[in-house]
Structure 1
Amino acid sequence: MSLEQRPETQTPRAVSAAVTIGSFVALLYVIEFVDMLMANRLDQQGIEPRETGGLLGIVFAPLLHGGWGHLIANTFPALVLGFLILLSGLRTWAGVSAVVWIIGGVGIWLTGGDNSVHIGASGLIFGWLTYLIVRGIFSRKVGQILLGVVILVMYGGLLWGVLPGQEGISWQGHLFGAVGGVIAAWLLVDRDSERR
């Protein structure tokens, strides 16, 4: 968002951002409800590392969750971080999400444990988090740098999740999602201010 924009153009963008991320999260709840009705059979459509059939899980894994507790834990960070990226526009959010989705999924597929299935939006959330933290470095925009610092202070503790530790938590998803967010910032950030 440039400083030249008038306040009346910012309000509709905020409303649009809230509706979009709210709809995305609502979709996750609908999918989890359907999964519950199917006795959690959808959860088997996640990423199975180094299995050819597990490659398709890259498409589905961020939409699936291992129960309501898993989804609820991802809800608030998804709403906040997704909303902040959507303030830059739907195209930016879609681009960042696509880069994180693919890099995170491929990273899990290559490095995840044998005989495991990886699901959940947390890799996407880690990617959104690192994107917001580092994009100001690439754009050289003071506002984005300051927002990155605030987000680092508020959510930086989550980044410990990229390390192996807790059983049943896909640290690979967190790690490669975070890597995807940095790469998305490098690839997609608006560098128009540098050219001006």
Structure 2
Amino acid sequence: MAAVTVVLYVIEALNIATGGLLTLDFGIRPRDPSSLPDIVTAPLVHDAANWNHLAANTLPLVVFGFLTFLAGLRQFLTAVAFSWFASGLGVWLFGGSLFGAPSVTVGASGVIFGLFGFLLVRGFFNRSWGQVLLAVVLVLAYGSVLLGALPNVARGVSWQAHLFGLAGGVLAAVVLGPSGGAAGRRGAEA
């Protein structure tokens, strides 16, 4: 997670140095077909107005990323991929102002919400009391951030990225299912 964090801060420095060109070039513009590839790049770029956007995302990204990585590389990559894609596609399809004002969405918060969602529900699918206990602790520590997945919580915040990222993380937990999967259960029976 340290390397990812360094990369995000280098990209932010470049974005600030270029006056926000990376935001304009690599952020998601809802329903603009030319912006579909930006689903891949938008989580790497943060608001160039100041460092606050990236700073606010850093701690939860490191914490949730680390906790997800503890489940193994496959689960980590699956949770990140589902969260990343669901968040970006949700923003592309449903993002923007209700009044048609142009908008550009950037930031890792959709992925963060996805990792959070994954950590909250995976214990139920894995039937793991330890993971359920972790989910309870995370809700107590970070539960209020779930309000960020509700429409219009704050001006300039993409609740769509949060909501669809959260859904992507939950979907990743469903797809990954119980620990070990069917192959692991067959091996235990032999």
TM-score normalised according to structure 1 size: 0.86
* CA deviation vs aligned residue, 1:156-187 (integer Å, no higher than 9, x gap): 11000011221100000000011111001101
Matched residue, 2:171: 183
Unaligned runs of 5+ residues in structure 1 are: 1-20
**Displacement, 1:40?**
1.1
CA RMSD across the alignment: 1.4
Aligned residues: 176
**Displacement, 1:193?**
7.7
Q: Answer whether contact 1:126 1:177 (CA < 8 A) is retained.
A: yes
The percent of aligned pairs where both chains have the same amino acid is: 47
Q: 1:193 to 1:57 in 2, by over 3 A?
A: closer
Residue 46 of structure 2: which of 65, 83, 91 is its match? Answer: 65
Q: Answer whether contact 2:127 2:178 (CA < 8 A) is retained.
A: no
Q: Does 1:76 align with 2:56?
A: no
Aligned 1:28-67 pairs, distance under 5 A = 28-44=8-24, 45-67=26-48
Counterpart CA distance in 2 for 1:184 and 1:40 is 33
Residue 145 of structure 2: which of 158, 164, 169 is its match? Answer: 158
**Displacement, 1:190?**
3.9
Counterpart CA distance in 2 for 1:103 and 1:52 is 17
**Displacement, 1:88?**
1.5
Deviation beyond 6 Å, 4+ runs, structure 1: none
Unaligned runs of 5+ residues in structure 2 are: none
